[in-house]
Chain A
Amino acid sequence: MNEFVVALGWFGLFAPVALGAIGSAWGCALGGSAAIGAMLDSDGGYGRFIGVSLMPSSQVIYGIVIMFSLQQQTVDAANGAALFGIGVLSGFTMLFTGIRQGEVLASAIHASKAKPEIFGISLAPAAVLEGFSVFALVFALVLAGSIPS
């Protein structure tokens, strides 16, 4: 049983990075596809399309920060379950917000082609999703401090 909990602990330790990387990759691919399409139909402003399409890359960075905060001198039965719970749940948050951020960025890029003046405000939903990722990051850091070492 102890070995199983230790295995879960290691799983939870790396989950924020792995799931965050998947979310970032997926989100950047969605946003990047929209940016590439928009560049075909635009005479300028390519940088801003590419720039916003990279917004979901923050999720993997948050995942790395969470992993370092969860890192213990030893992973054992006492802290395995906590590492698993915090790591996996925060990882799924990064995965989900990364993908959804890519989707809303694709919509924002598409909409701002029709009405360039809404480019800034159309990024608001993506910024809110970023805020949710930050919530998950901050509270994972808070909880990481109370894991028995």
Chain B
Amino acid sequence: MSNPHQYIALVTSLPHLGVLFTRKEVPISQFRLKQRLGVLSPGHQKHLREMVEVTAWAGVAKYDSDASVISRAREVIADLAEYPDLQHLVAARMETRTLIAALRRRREGQETAGRISEWGYGRWLAFIKDNWMDPGFGLSHFLPWIAEADRFMRSGDHIAMERLALTEVMRELDHYGNHHEFDFEAVAIYVLRWVIVERWSRYNEADARERLQVLLEDALHANDTHTTHPASMSETPLPSEGAYS
């Protein structure tokens, strides 16, 4: 699809996603979104699939190692040569993930960055390696959220950590989205935002399901045991963790 009028019609047909963390469900279903995106050319649909594959948790989960994710991301970035902003966006997303992966590795007791080029991507590898024990990897001046993420991670507040990471990703999407209104980049950025909103809404759904389960168990076993569930059972379930979530 190259006609700008078609992009205008497509972009205006997509509902506003709203402010992150405020919606309990996505304003457009996956089925309906795919239906609307059907007007894209096969080449653009391929670009979109590839971008989602390397940026969304569900797409990354099928890879068995960080190295294969990074290798795939490099291929996708090379394929997006016609769209420099999307290249920067995917690269920025990989860098954000690298920083989160570094925080997790350090929390798990890793004393040095090790072979960071095998599990990390982007401009900050040298900073991370040289400042491994610094809370913000020596990047606090550029990226103040890292130290905050470190604090959340150490305190075990995974929900706050996830919110912070998603906010950072959303900020990157907003930054590049401001330059595109009715073009392929605008559509791609919308889809990436939709993936994040949809992911957060699933957390809420999982949360609700867990709470319902606890309530059902309480009701079913109340007469037998007369005991309450441990506090941990009623806590908000943690979001899926991984080096590339």
Contact = CB atoms under 8 A, between A and B. Distances in A.
Interface string A28-65: 01100111111011000000000000000000000000
Interface in B1-32: 4-6, 8-16
A4 B14 CA distance: 53
A48 to B, nearest CB: 14
B145 interface: no
A22 B29 CA distance: 39
B245 to A, nearest CB: 29
Contacts of B16: 113-114
A37 B9 contact: yes
B8 A106 contact: yes
20 contacts: A29-B5, A30-B5, A30-B8, A33-B5, A33-B8, A33-B9, A33-B12, A34-B12, A35-B12, A38-B12, A38-B13, A41-B12, A41-B14, A106-B8, A106-B12, A106-B182, A107-B181, A109-B12, A110-B11, A110-B12
Given A33-B6, A41-B14, 4 more contacts: A40-B12, A106-B8, A110-B12, A110-B182
Interface residues of B, number: 15
A34 B13 CA distance: 8
Contacts of B12: 33-38, 40-41, 106, 109-110, 113
B6 A41 contact: no
A95 B1 CA distance: 26
Interface of B: 4-6, 8-16, 36, 181-182
A37 B4 CA distance: 13
Contact of B13 (A29, A30, A40, A114): A40
Chief secondary structure at chain B's binding surface: helix
Q: Which 9 A-B pairs have the closest CB atoms?
A: A37-B12, A114-B16, A37-B13, A37-B9, A40-B13, A33-B8, A33-B5, A33-B9, A38-B12
Interface of A: 29-30, 33-38, 40-41, 106-107, 109-110, 113-114
Given A37-B10, A107-B181, A113 B15 contact: yes
Contacts of B36: 40
B8 A41 contact: no
A45 to B, nearest CB: 13
A54 to B, nearest CB: 15
B19 to A, nearest CB: 11
Contact of B15 (A29, A41, A107): A41
A109 B8 CA distance: 10
B6 to A, nearest CB: 7
A41 B12 CA distance: 8
A109 B182 CA distance: 12
Contacts of A114: 16
Contacts of A37: 8-14
A110 B9 contact: no
A34 B14 contact: no
A37 B8 CA distance: 7
